[in-house]
Amino acid sequence: MISAASKPRDVRIIELNHISCNGCENKNVLKLHCFTDYMYFFFIPVISGGKKAIITCSNCGKNYDVSKQSDNVKELAKLEKQNLRIPIWHFTGLGIILLFIASLIAYNIWDNKQDAMLVKDPKPGDFYEYSDGDGWYSSFKISRVDKDSIYAFFNRQFINKATSIYEIDEPDNYWPFEESLSRKELEQMYEDGDIYEIDRD
């Protein structure tokens, strides 16, 4: 189950013995709680919610907004919050997310470099995914190569999602005859962005 919420963590608690609780009218029961807050997802802290303060009654449980209290109480809360430090672990989830994004970027850069090398040195068995330029995508498999050209079996089926080529990558979907492309045509298709993925076993 997915859960996302904020979670306070008490850091400083100051007794306000000079103030009576409006709820139960008792003295020596109010406490100023100054704490740091953080958002969490699946129990992993994601990002800090900052420094906060609230007044609670230990007798009746009533809570009070610090901003509606006397100047002395507000100044006390301000000073106590200034002395708080937001723990670095509040940003654990954010760090994981940034690391994941950085990993995806690094992989994408590596994959593009690999494709750029593969298209200049095609081999039998290479699998190409390409776009027809009108929002449709398909594939072809190189069967043989020579000095100037490549020969491939083209998929007769097209699909409208670049990431769903696997759905049409079936042996029966390929034409039973080879089609040829010059090496220059192949490289130009890659440079134009029509070829967007190359796989080699």
The domain that holds 123 is classified in CATH as 2.30.30
Q: Provide the CB-side half-sphere exposure for 114 (13 A, CA).
A: 14
d(CA 16, CA 30): 5
pTM of the model: 0.56
Q: Is 177 within the bounds of a domain?
A: yes
User: What total number of domains does the chain contain?
Assistant: 2
Q: Is 50 left (phi over 0), alpha (psi -120 to 50) or beta?
A: left
Tens-digit pLDDT string for the chain (201 aa): 334 445 556 577 777 777 777 778 777 778 787 877 777 777 777 777 777 888 788 888 778 777 777 677 777 777 777 776 777 776 777 888 889 999 999 988 888 888 889 999 999 999 999 999 899 999 999 999 999 999 999 999 999 999 999 999 999 999 999 999 999 999 999 999 999 999 998
Asked whether residue 82 falls in the same domain as residue 125, the answer is: no
- Give the domain range for residue 138: 115-199
Asked whether residue 119 falls in the same domain as residue 152, the answer is: yes
Among 67, 95, 123, residue at a domain's last position: 95
Among residues 12, 3, 102, the alpha carbon closest in space to that of 46 is found at 3
Please check whether residue 48 is in contact with residue 40, taking contact to mean a CB–CB distance below 8 angstroms. no
Among 63, 95, 127, residue at a domain's last position: 95
SS3 label, residue 7 = strand
Asked whether residue 139 falls in the same domain as residue 187, the answer is: yes
